[in-house]
Structure 1
Amino acid sequence: MPYKPQITDVTKAGSNEKEGLYEFIIHLADGTDCRVFYNRFPEWKMTALSRLGKVPCPVCRKDFICKCMDRFSDDFDQQMRDGEWLNKAVESE
């Protein structure tokens, strides 16, 4: 069964609003957390994605840093846009 990440919540972890740089923590339905970076100018664009090492990777089951989540960056980006997670997380402060 192929892995399909599902975003359940997004929190803003940091920002440099002057430069339009934002860091978010994405919480997934399977308990995995990922850190994602976005640049807001000229429009929202994902610049980096990494899994936080709190639980083993749901894809390769390794409990150390891996690059498995990079394969799903388009899925994450689409969910962030479709669910309006970017605007919700920025406005929540």
Structure 2
Amino acid sequence: MQVQELAKRAHVHRNTPTARPHAPRLQKYLQDMVRVLTVAAEVTCDEKRAVFLLRNEPLRAFGYKTADTLVQEGRADAIIAYLESLAGGAAG
């Protein structure tokens, strides 16, 4: 991912990832992505598949948005709860 794409996804200025990598908003986005990716990898048992699904799989329960979009919207906790419910067999 290019620096400008990261900045766009984290809703920060395009120079923030390089000039201020510890900026709270950038760090929050990165932490949320790692949390969601970790849960997705546990559910799928495959890190590459988890990354693909996060970026590309529209989720009906969330208006056909991807998990990546939901993280960008600040809804990491909702997507984690959803993924955990899938792992537990409660949805899907």
Q: TM-score, normalised by structure 1?
A: 0.29
More strand by share: 1
Q: Which has the larger radius of gyration?
A: 2
Which structure has more helix as a fraction of its residues? 2
